[in-house]
Amino acid sequence: MRTLISNGTVISSDGGIAADVLVSGERIEAVIAPESDLALGLRSSADVVHVDAAGRYVVPGGIDVHTHMELPFGGTYASDTFETGTRAAAWGGTTTIIDFAVQRTGEDVRASLDEWFAKAEGRCAIDYGFHMILGGIDETCLKEMDSLVAEGITSFKLFMAYPGVLYSDDGAILRAMQQAHDNGALIMMHAENGIAIDVLASEAAARGQIAPVYHGVTRPSRLEGEATYRAIQLAVVAGAPVYFVHLSASEALAHVAAARNEGLNVFAETCPQYLYLNLEDHLGAPGFEGAGYVCSPPLRSKHESHHADLWQGLRTNDLSIVSTDHCPFCMKEQKELGLEDFRLIPNGLGLVEHRMDLIHQGVVAGEISLERWVETCSTTPARMFGLYPRKGAIAPGSDADIVIYDPSAKTRISAQTHHMNLDYSALEGWVLDGAVETVFSRGRAVIYGGAYHGSPGDGEYLKRGLSQCLI
Ligand code: URP
Ligand code: ZN
Ligand code: ZN
């Protein structure tokens, strides 16, 4: 059976056009001029399901390249499983995630990856791939990188933060980057100077400063800037590309922009929390409420220019992608682990369901164009992580991952109504302009009529190619 999505405006990273989209099985068969004989014939054909998208945008399904379903962290696990988290993603117009498998220090890379495959297999509502976190770089692990690349895991995250847990020192980082130079992988960097942060955090705790806000106070933006600069130098020495995850600070962005101006293969993503939330009002909320906003890097001060600079970075492409770093922990029994000490609050926010709406709100506010919305949330993620043009495009032959988006509807955010397995919302009560109406995942309508129509296991594992963004 074929489906024709007609009368909508197809938005791509090049612009918007009035076009009908013909879906056949799991793929897009054609993008057709709406008044053409072909379109008119298909609209009246009894063999074609007709979906009217008048007044709607028709956009490629969102790709969230930074999620942590079921991540073990601080003695607990991120509260979304692959089943609940990918279903929530679908509700929000995201049809692909790339999650992080984790090799902890001392563990075998292969065994760790197999653990993540087992967690995801048969459970996902949408397609998924993996990056690999390397938390213990040694000779065996470096060799494993090559075999993983050959198997479609072409990006590796390293941490300059979290000493004793996932931290890599400069030598280890350089070795991994050298290996990436040889095998074509992309190194993804969590850039915060964790050694210095641990000193500041211990000092604060010793002074009795244990409230959630001190998580942010002890992770100053300069220490993200410093680590970002250092990682860029290491990447240049190794001759490898580097991609900064969850960039939050003006200082870090300035180093990325300077490197890009030099023509280096340096890339960065930011996340909605760093565009909308801040240290004083959210992390510094009364009582223990701020725990719901603890993530690393932390939310930055509203008295500095981070928000404006990050929106600017999205306009100039110094920030090429918006991901969520979806890593939800419930307030009850999870965030509460840090009631007596901010250092014990599990780090992370749950936003996988809201990314497309939040960045569309940036269009409404005049921060970015509609084309840039699609580019940062779908097309560049596909290209950066070796999935284009199968994903990230509305074009003949691409997977029929399609979102019909109603710009005149409203999205009301609340823990009572969201679909993430999370007992609070960092955006409780927010009302956004625009709403996801219908979502196709590989040709199957999984969200329509205000309901979910998919099942666990609809999503397939994606073997990825090398990054298609390198110059
Ligand atoms: O707070 C965060 N970001 N939690 C997830 C782990 C990470 O560093 O991405
Ligand atoms: Zn990180
Ligand atoms: Zn993360």
User: What is the tens place of the pLDDT at every residue in 359-404?
Assistant: 999 999 999 999 999 999 999 999 999 999 999 999 999 999 999 9
Task: Indicate the helix (H) or strand (E) that contains 129.
Answer: strand 127-134
Q: Which ligand is nearest to the CA of 189?
A: 2
- Of 3.20.20.140, 1.20.120.1200, 3.40.640.10, 3.40.50.10440, which CATH number belongs to 62-384? 3.20.20.140
Task: Indicate the helix (H) or strand (E) that contains 405.
Answer: strand 402-412
Distance 395 CA to ligand 2 centre (A): 33
**By three-state DSSP, how is residue 457 classified?**
coil
Exposure string of 230-242, with b = 16+ CB inside 10 Å and e = fewer, is bbbebbbebebbb
Distance 161 CA to ligand 2 centre (A): 8
Query: Of 298, 310, 294, which is closest to residue 251 (Cα–Cα)?
Result: 310
pLDDT tens, 78-87? 999 999 999 9
> Beta-carbon neighbour count of residue 452 at 10 Å?
15
> Beta-carbon neighbour count of residue 412 at 10 Å?
12
> Beta-carbon neighbour count of residue 277 at 10 Å?
22
pLDDT for the residue numbered 3:
98
Distance in Å from the first CA to the final CA of the chain: 41
Distance 299 CA to ligand 3 centre (A): 14
Task: Name residue, tokens 């979906």.
Answer: 51
The average pLDDT across 51-75 equals 97
**By three-state DSSP, how is residue 333 classified?**
coil
Q: Which CATH superfamily is domain 2-59+393-409+417-452 in?
A: Urease, subunit C, domain 1 (2.30.40.10)
Residue of 155, 162, 246, 323 to mutate, ligand 1, most atoms within 8 A of C-beta: 246
- At 1, the pLDDT band (50, 70, 90 cuts) reads confident
Q: Which ligand is nearest to the CA of 345?
A: 1
Residue 95 carries which side chain, given as an amino acid letter?
T
Cα 325 → chain centroid: 5
Task: Name residue, tokens 């059976």.
Answer: 1
The C-alpha atoms of residue 149 and residue 156 are separated, in whole angstroms, by: 10
CB of 311 within 8 A of CB of 321? no
Using CA of residue 366, residue 371, residue 372, residue 373, what is the dihedral sign? Answer: positive
DSSP character string of 286-304:
TTTGGGGG--SSPPPPTTS
Task: Indicate the helix (H) or strand (E) that contains 364.
Answer: helix 355-364
The C-alpha atoms of residue 2 and residue 23 are separated, in whole angstroms, by: 6
Structure token digits, residue 89: 């993603």
Say whether pLDDT at 204 is over 90: yes
pTM: predicted TM-score of the whole model, two decimal places: 0.98
Residue of 64, 65, 68, 300 to mutate, ligand 1, most atoms within 8 A of C-beta: 68
Query: Of 27, 77, 71, 20, which is closest to residue 50 (Cα–Cα)?
Result: 20
Q: Is residue 365 packed enough to be buried (19+ CB in 10 Å), middle (13-18) or exposed (0-12)? A: exposed
Domain boundaries of the chain, sorted by first residue:
2-59+393-409+417-452, 62-384
pLDDT tens, 11-33? 999 999 999 999 999 999 999 99
Percent of the chain with pLDDT over 70: 100
The C-alpha atoms of residue 331 and residue 337 are separated, in whole angstroms, by: 9
